[in-house]
Amino acid sequence: MTAFGKTDMGEDEHRPDNESEEERPVVRPLEAIPVRQGERVSVLLKDPEGLSEEVLQVSREAFFVIALMDGNHTITDIQAEFARTFGTLIYSDDIKGLVRSLDEHKLLDNE
């Protein structure tokens, strides 16, 4: 992959125009600690590098979405994976809100 997000093999040529420009969020490496509270399972996210001193607690569904924020998945890709796994839809605005929250907590890789 080049610095402009295209592979040397022309991968973007096979995508619709809007998808090649769609946001592909990237989360920095995080420490994930599962927490059980009764029947509810959530995940604590900690920054091992210390850029963010806060610990963020997210649902298992939110953690699933965050785990797909690797720079390879578009928002649309994440929506599709979520629907396949959980059998329900997630709005792109919800994913974008999660991206904003991660950014505010300094957990995104914003080169």
The per-residue pLDDT for range 68-91, each reduced to its tens digit, is 999 999 999 999 999 999 999 999
Helix, coil or strand: residue 53: coil
Query: What is the Cα gyration radius of the chain?
Result: 15
Q: Is 67 exposed, middle or buried (CB count within 10 Å of its CB: 0-12, 13-18, 19+)? A: middle
pTM above 0.95, yes or no: no
